[in-house]
């Protein structure tokens, strides 16, 4: 057996949710550069088409599979189309998510429910659709994108729904990893710290971002590209003995 770690994903088929923007888009591009064919899943729109164009224009292979992570049928259809067009599914990254804020004592049930539906139930439904295919194929690696907000509470951010949903996603990953451990499917989590996505680079949040940067031991936000290496590691055979972990990619934030 070679001692050289195998980070390549050649010949594999992946689905990435939340692929139209931010972290999901960067990971979709990184997976394609690492050799896999990619089905980009997101709400339909120009962002999704842009991700697919970027991958195909740079010599990779991608298709758009539009859908909504709160809709089990659209996830099932997307997995079926992915396998029809690209081959047996063995890789998945679930990055679709939303965030908003309100004081807990004033939060409307609808606001709570929407974040839980997308950020928590949406990850479960994605894993379920992907897992069904991977268990049938006898092989798979799933990476869910949670957040450091699943381990710590962000000072000054009123997002009890988001923090709770992200903590649930971390334990969801461990639970699925144990259910599927003897059937060839690994499940792991990445928990990003503050990351420079469109949400965090608007001029009106500049003061808040300066605070985020001061609070992060590495002194800055992550770039979306800095999520790619950890994701490719957890998807690839380089991490063949890793399942059920929550990999914090937070510039050291939770140590302080
Ligand atoms: N940006 C950060 O600082 C940060 C930090 C920690 C964790 N995260 C997590 O990383 C993930 C990606 O976040 P991002 O910052 O790239 O955000 P983003 O808004 O740039 O991308 C999120 C994507 O999810 C898609 N999406 C939302 N609801 C959907 C639905 N119902 N069905 C299908 N797709 C849907 C959006 O259309 C969008 O393309 C999220 O889960 C987020 O919670 C982000």
- Would you list the domain boundaries of the chain? 13-249
Ligand 1 atom at minimal distance to the Cα of residue 117:
31
What is the band of 203 on the pLDDT scale with cuts at 50, 70, 90?
confident
Q: 68 in helix, strand or coil?
A: coil
Put simply, whether the predicted model's pTM sits higher than 0.95 gets the answer: yes
Q: What is the mean pLDDT of residues 49-66?
A: 98
Ligand 1 atom at minimal distance to the Cα of residue 26:
16
Q: At residue 199, does pLDDT exceed 80?
A: no
What is the band of 206 on the pLDDT scale with cuts at 50, 70, 90?
confident
What is the band of 200 on the pLDDT scale with cuts at 50, 70, 90?
confident
Close Cβ partners of 242 (under 8 Å, ≥ 6 residues apart)? 186, 188, 234
For the chain, the farthest-separated pair of C-alpha atoms sits apart, in whole angstroms, at 59
How far, in Å, is the centroid of ligand 1 from the Cα of 120?
A: 12
Structure tokens at 253: 């934030």
User: CA–CA separation, 16 vs 223, rounded Å?
Assistant: 18
From 95, 119, 190, 223, mutation site for ligand 1 pocket: most ligand atoms within 8 A of C-beta: 95
**pLDDT digit string, tens, across residues 105-145:** 999 999 999 999 999 999 999 999 999 999 999 999 999 99
How far are the Cα atoms of 32, 48, 213 from residue 95, in angstroms, in the given order? 16, 13, 23
Alpha-carbon radius of gyration of the chain: 17
From 18, 26, 118, 170, mutation site for ligand 1 pocket: most ligand atoms within 8 A of C-beta: 18
User: CA–CA separation, 135 vs 132, rounded Å?
Assistant: 5
Q: What is the mean pLDDT of residues 204-217?
A: 91
As a CATH number, domain 13-249 is 3.40.50.720
Q: At residue 1, does pLDDT exceed 80?
A: no
- Contact between residue 31 and residue 60 where contact means Cβ atoms under 8 Å apart: no
């Amino acid at each position: 057996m070679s001692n050289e770690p195998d980070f390549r994903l050649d010949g594999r088929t992946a689905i990435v949710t939340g692929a139209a923007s931010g972290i999901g888009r960067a990971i979709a591009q990184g997976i394609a550069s690492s050799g896999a064919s990619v089905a980009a899943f997101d709400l339909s729109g120009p962002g999704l088409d842009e991700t697919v164009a970027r991958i195909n224009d740079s010599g990779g292979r991608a298709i758009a599979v539009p859908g909504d992570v709160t809709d089990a049928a659209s996830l099932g259809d997307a997995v079926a189309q992915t396998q029809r067009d690209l081959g047996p599914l063995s890789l998945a990254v679930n990055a679709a998510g939303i965030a908003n804020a309100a004081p807990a004592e004033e939060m409307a049930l609808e606001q709570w429910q929407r974040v839980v539906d997308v950020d928590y139930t949406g990850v479960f439904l994605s894993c379920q659709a992907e897992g069904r295919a991977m268990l049938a194929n006898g092989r798979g690696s799933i990476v869910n994108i949670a957040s450091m907000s699943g381990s710590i509470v962000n000072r000054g951010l009123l997002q009890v729904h988001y923090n709770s949903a992200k903590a649930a996603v971390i334990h969801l990953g461990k639970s699925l990893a144990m259910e599927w451990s003897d059937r060839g499917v690994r499940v792991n989590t990445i928990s990003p710290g503050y990351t420079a996505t469109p949400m965090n680079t608007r001029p009106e949040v500049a003061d808040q971002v300066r605070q985020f940067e001061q609070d992060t031991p590495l002194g800055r936000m992550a770039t979306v590209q800095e999520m790619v290496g950890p994701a490719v590691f957890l998807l690839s055979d380089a991490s063949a003995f890793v399942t059920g972990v929550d990999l914090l990619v937070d510039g050291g934030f939770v140590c302080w």
